[in-house]
Amino acid sequence: MLSDRPRWEAEGRDWPNRDASRFVDVGRLRWHVQVAGSDPVLLLIHGTGAATHSWRTMLPLLAEHFTVVAPDLPGHGFTSGRPPGGLAMPAMARAVGELMTALEMPPALIVGHSAGAAIAIRMVLDGFAAPKGVIGLNSALLPFPGLAAKLFPTLARMLFVNPFAPHIFAGIARQRGEAGRFLARSTGSTIDAAGADFYGRLFATPGHCAGAITMMADWDLESLARDLPKLAVPLLLIHGAGDSAIPLSTAEGAAALVPGAALETLPGLGHLAHEEAPETVAGMIQAFAGEVGVGGIVS
């Protein structure tokens, strides 16, 4: 019988960087988190529908220079439970902040992918973290343009109230090769077969699908956009120029709202640029760390 949630002994049987994994209880949540390396703390926050496997190649590279902390967000991967306030952005930011407090690892640098970048910035704006800098990878920071601004959250809410929706998505994901095809269509990225398999395992569990849908249904990018000019730490946005999920123009608009923000583009890469070219992105993170004075790394 299929499990509603991903199971560590099944879907996680050969999870990337499994030896770095631990489970931590904080409040209502039992977190799956990976910790590796030493010295300055670097927090990695994945995006909607992903989990720690998203950092499978980058985590060991970054662990040569940092203490890397990479959790599965609530509703995702092998983290179980719901924080007070559900999966809305402020609740997620608070929950991740509480995890870092429980681990006694205040982050010197936060890197977030897609919606994870929004959580990273919300953590700083709401006082749950005080890093020396934030990096957004293919960041989802502004409302969807035009008609999509209304249709997308409305569709997510419709799916959220349909109890069969997660099971429908999970059933589709179980079809051979469908996870890889879906990722290529929706992100503009082509990742390795192992990476697509890890996504497929998660997508095939209704609980993980429900977490992603719930998160999308309660995502408030309008408020974040209004608050972006208040961000008072250095911000670097790295964006794959071929991203078919979040257009480069969105990153340009977000960078324009944050005083002193920098934007670097990666030609030929899509929404999962950090999985397509992990060495390149890891090098950019290290260079930015040196610029903001984290860990004595020089750019």
Flag whether 179 is in a domain.
no
Domain count, the chain: 1
Answer whether residue 145 shows pLDDT above 80: no
What percent of the chain shows pLDDT beyond 90?
Answer: 70
Residue 228 in any domain: the answer is yes
Instruction: Specify whether the CB–CB gap between 259 and 228 falls below 8 A.
Output: no
Q: Is residue 30 helix, strand or coil?
A: strand
pLDDT at 200 over 60: yes
Q: Residue by residue, what is the 3-state secondary structure of 168-219?
A: HHHHHHCCCCHHHHHHHHHHCCCCCHHHHHHHHHHHCCHHHHHHHHHHHHCC
Of the pLDDT bands very low, low, confident and very high (cuts 50, 70, 90), residue 180 is: low
Q: Is residue 272 part of a domain?
A: yes
> Is 242 among the domain residues?
yes
pTM of the model: 0.90
| pLDDT bucket at 170, cuts 50 / 70 / 90 | very low
Has residue 238 been placed in a domain? yes
DSSP label of 252: H
How far is the CA of 106 from the CAs of 42, 43, 146, 236, in angstroms?
Answer: 9, 9, 38, 20
> Which is more confidently placed, 282 or 156?
282
What is the pLDDT, as a whole number, of residue 216? 81
**32/47 Cα distance (integer angstroms):** 15
pLDDT band at 155 (very low <50, low <70, confident <90, very high): very low
Residue 228 CB-half CA count within 13 A = 25
Pairing type for strands 235-240 and 67-71 reads unpaired
Q: Is pLDDT at 258 greater than 50 in this prediction?
A: yes
Q: Residue 26's domain spans which residues? A: 18-145+220-291
Q: What is the CATH number of the domain that holds 133?
A: 3.40.50.1820
Sequence-distant (6+) residues with CB within 8 A of 191 are: 180, 183, 272, 275, 276
From the list 79, 98, 97, 95, the residue with the least C-alpha distance to 87 is 95
| Per-residue pLDDT tens digits for 210-230 | 888 888 877 889 999 999 999
* Residue 164 within a domain: no
Query: pLDDT tens digits, residue range 3-12?
Result: 588 999 999 9
Please check whether residue 160 lies inside any domain of the structure.
no
Structural domain includes residue 58: yes
* Dihedral sign for Cα atoms in the order 116, 117, 119, 120: positive
In this prediction, residue 242 has a pLDDT band, given cuts at 50, 70 and 90, of very high
